[in-house]
Copies of this chain bind each other. A is one copy, B any other.
Amino acid sequence: MTEQTTIAGSRFVGGVDYKALNERSVIDFLSPLHNASTLLGGAPSSWTVREVGDGNLNLVFIVKGSNGGIVVKQALPYVRMVGESWPLPLDRAYFEHEALKIQTLAAPHLVPKLYHFDTMQAACVMELLEPHLIVRKGLIKGIRYPKLAADIAEFCALTLFRTSDLGSPASEKRERQARFSHNITLSKITEDLVFTDPYRLSDMNLWTTPQLDKIAAAFRADAPLKLAAQELKWMFLSRGEALLHGDLHTGSIMATETNTRVIDPEFAVFGPMGFDLGAFMANLLLAFFAQEGHATERDDRQSYRAWILDTLESFWTLFGQKFLALWNKGGDGDAFLPPLFADDTGEVALEAYRHMTMARLFHDAIGFTGAKMARRILGLAHVEDLESITDTDRRAKCEKRALKMARALMVGRNSFSEISEIRDIAETIAKEPVA
């Protein structure tokens, strides 16, 4: 008997015949696939290919034919932004595909359509989202997305509720948790980069220097803050409440004014629901604090900043409504079985408990919001919202404000009860002088 466990399917991901695709070989890869050929149309020789992967980890090809286009996403055996010195297992393509299948069951209209998965090549063929733009890029440009708050609220409510013990039977939940618990390497990246590295000296850390040297040192010496970070880390490690997207920042969302899709769930793992909620809110707040750096004489970005905070408020409010609506309707979950509370006193008690749970989720989400903001300024992976501000003094000013907010949220998370309080803090910090 071995200590080793194996996931059927995943062990063959990136098999012996794995080869990183290129703009030529991707055509040979696609041409035998009937549905891909049909979607593209015409002879393979007429297809055009563009490699567009701008993320940190993967190859992404857009392939177009006379009928339309598709996307091929292939995992690389190392971290693309760092290089071959940081190897990364190809089985993350398996977890991404498994997560996307589950998200498709829960919220099919909010994720790309799946056409094909190739285990050996660790490659997934998916719907081409056009004319969608990565939301982070839209937020830098000052584009408004009227449906963003409601759609991401719905994505979170549907995927989190339906994969939780409220929405799915214990047998299904435990089987899924068994599967995603093997997503160890990518989870470890989150554990280190989000919850630990920003709070210690690490070769992996980057920040705007010398402007942020003092605040980075202050973060590393701040005991209550480090305690909050590690408490959130323990939650991330031990509270398998629902299948998380695991990386729900604005770079994992593609949108138009009328359509929103969530992509890239390769960090999927069971964890606290607040983690996904906080990831989205953190990236809205980073976008908010970055606006000062994008302001021009023609556009001071003031009204756009207000729109970002409107989006933040709407997101939380709508998430709460949608999640409660699903819970009220009753899921297939084994926790809080509806028949146990079918009488009047039962309904009253359960209703009160539901609202307590939402308050608890709010505290969790606010804590994770702070942690996800700080790691993008003091840790390895930064965000274009801030990085694109080329004047480092100007950027540092935005970053200091964001860090001030991050700390307030992490340390004070259990003292907040309304999303409007979070908005107020953001607005206050945005107006205060920066030290």
Contacts and interface: CB of A to CB of B under 8 A. Distances in A.
Interface of A: 1-9, 94, 97-98, 101, 117, 119, 164-166, 170-171, 173-175, 177-179, 181-184, 187-188, 191, 196, 199-200, 221, 223-224, 226-227, 230-231, 233-234, 237-241, 334-337, 339-341, 343, 345-346, 348-350, 353
Contact of A170 (B4, B170, B191, B337): B191
A227, A343, A353: residue with the most chain B Cβ atoms closer than 10 Å: A227
Contacts of A8: 2, 4-6
Nearest to A8: B6
A231 B191 contact: no
B237 A239 contact: no
Tell me what chain A mostly uses at the interface: helix, strand, loop, or mixed. Answer: helix
6 contacts: A6-B8, A174-B187, A177-B177, A177-B240, A178-B179, A226-B340
Given A196-B334, A223-B348, 17 more contacts: A1-B9, A2-B8, A4-B8, A5-B8, A6-B6, A6-B7, A171-B184, A177-B177, A178-B182, A196-B337, A199-B340, A200-B337, A223-B341, A223-B349, A226-B349, A227-B341, A239-B239
B181 A335 contact: no
A382 B184 CA distance: 41
Contacts of A184: 170-171, 174-175
Among all A-B residue pairs, the 6 with the closest Cβ atoms: A178-B181, A223-B349, A234-B335, A165-B237, A223-B345, A177-B181
A341 B5 contact: no
Contact of A175 (B181, B226, B234, B339): B181
Contacts of A237: 165, 170, 173, 334-335
B223 A346 contact: yes
Contacts of A171: 184, 188
B239 A343 contact: no
A352 to B, nearest CB: 8
A177, A199, A231, A343: residue with the most chain B Cβ atoms closer than 10 Å: A177
A5 B178 contact: yes
Contacts of A7: 5-6
A73 to B, nearest CB: 15
Contacts of A3: 101, 175
A181, A343, A345: residue with the most chain B Cβ atoms closer than 10 Å: A181
